[in-house]
Structure 1
Amino acid sequence: MRIADVLRGKGSAVATIDPGLTVSGLLGELARHNVGALVVVDAERVVGIVSERDVVRGLAERGGGLLDATVSEIMTADVVTCGPEDTVDSLAGQMTERRIRHMPVLSGGALVGIVSIGDVVKTRISQLESDRDQLTSYIQG
């Protein structure tokens, strides 16, 4: 199964944030969208990703003063991305190996979606259930 298939099922909406917004504003956006990470976009170009984990690390290092810092100060600028043509299996391996929970999907440099580790697990479980059903049907004749 390809990432394009996952996006077709879940949709391609992506919550994004401006790199100049404060961490306090970031927290409000994470809560408003009920997500664990936001893609950081500047002039329609992906420049980073920021997650709850980044906020926790920042708080541990800087304390409460972090709330006035900007998203660009705590975001991960070296974003690992994938394309719609990539397979779910390859993405599962990358996400596990690199300990990534959210991966933006780019097509021709444009942001077209985001896939979470939960999306990958859900898809793999669905694939396994389908395989099991086909085998059961084959065995039972």
Structure 2
Amino acid sequence: MKTVAQILQAKAHQHVVHSIAPGATMLDALRVMAEHNVGALLVLDEGHLLGIVSERDYARKGVLQGRSSIGTLVSEIMSVPVISVSPRQSIRECMTLMTDRHLRHLPVLDNGELLGLLSIGDLIKETLAEQDGLIQHLEQYIRGE
């Protein structure tokens, strides 16, 4: 089973981690999410990971509490502490963590340095690719190839 580092390496050419400052408004955050078609942003202050803010956070901590997207700061809505993974962890470990904690995004940190962001979609895509490869290998084995 592949590691987080291998997944990040494979998607490095197509993936940029989108972020926002803690002092930005939720309206700004929603605009950035919409512009990049992502469901969450890392909240960074001078390169330091402070939190993560998602559409789910806004719905539950903003809209349902009657907060305005214009008057609410990202820092008021963001999820903290941030649950993260290391590049050495496996896909299975990440999927278990996401399932148990009801997460859709996992920042990848190595000794405090932000390396990337994994989504549940990234992990499902990789799991399906591994299963397809295994099925193909078994079919070839059965046919004697």
Deviates more, 1:75-84 or 1:6-15: 6-15
Deviations 1:48-82 (A, max 9, x none): 0000001111111124x243110000000111000
> Structure 1 residue 25: deviation in Å?
0.7
Counterpart residue number, 1:74: 77
Q: Could you say which residue in structure 2 is the equivalent of 1:106?
A: 109
TM-score (norm 2): 0.92
Gaps of 5+ in 1: none
- Identify the residue that residue 63 of structure 2 maps to in structure 1: 59
RMSD of aligned alpha carbons: 1.1
1:1-141 correspondence runs (5 A): 1-11=2-12, 13-57=16-60, 58-63=62-67, 65-141=68-144
Higher mean alpha-carbon deviation, 6-15 vs 49-58, is at: 6-15
Q: How many residues are aligned here?
A: 140
Question: Structure 1: which 4+ aligned runs deviate by more than 6 Å?
Answer: none
Deviation string 1:77-110 (CA, Å, 9 cap, x unpaired) is 1110001111001101110111100000111211
**TM-score scaled by structure 1?**
0.95
Q: Can you give the 5+ residue segments of structure 2 that lack an aligned partner in the other structure?
A: none
